Amino acid sequence: LQKVNDSVQIPVTYRKVWNDGFGARGWKVNATVGDPEIIASTRETGLKINTSVFIHDILDHFLSGFGVSGHRSEAMALIQLSKRTGSNPGPDYEQLVREDILNGRVNGESFRGFLPADLCSMIPENLGMTDKEIIAYLNEKLGEKRLIKYLVDNFFKLGEAGESHAAESWKILGLDAHKRAEIGRALQALLEVIDQKVEE
């Protein structure tokens, strides 16, 4: 990431096939090339949100001053996505809970460090429990529905905690956060053209 005069430059790389274990075609921000959690992405957008994962990585993670991988970073980035597109991060948070957290997986920090304090206080201290054992214990104690609500609420809390950091990051870069929706649409339109050309 470089600030040159009045512009912000973000080096990115495109490959027909990435030899990263996923083998996907697409784009990566150069700063994430060595991150095993990052899969290359293309111009494809979501069904409800007209923005690609690649533009989400650039605007909502990178320019907002968050890491591109890690559950806490994704919590904060999804709030930024909601602010520029009007999307509801709740379903994405629930998907992350069901696919990762309920399976004892947290990226970017320790499992206990990610859990809210009220859940941590329920975990027996004297037992050397694995992350999977911790979540299984909480599931048995609270029931899955209640546990999921705790965890989704925690995602919202973590996500909203990053708002001032994101605003400051955009300000430092000389970017107008009030125009992030327009910037997102412009970058997506540019990606549509470039990605089609390199795919030919």
> Tens of pLDDT along 21-55?
888 899 999 998 988 888 999 999 987 888 999 99
Residues of the chain with pLDDT under 70: none
| pLDDT at position 171 | 95
For residue 173, the tally of other CB atoms under 10 A from its CB is 15
The whole-angstrom separation of Cα 169 and Cα 179 is: 14
Helix/strand/coil percentages in the chain, nearest 5: 55, 10, 35
Give the containing element (helix H, strand E) for 147.
helix 144-160
| pLDDT at position 6 | 79
Total domains, the chain:
1
Domain that holds residue 164: 2-199
Backbone angles phi, psi at 88, to 5 degrees: -100, 115
pTM for the predicted model, two decimal places: 0.92
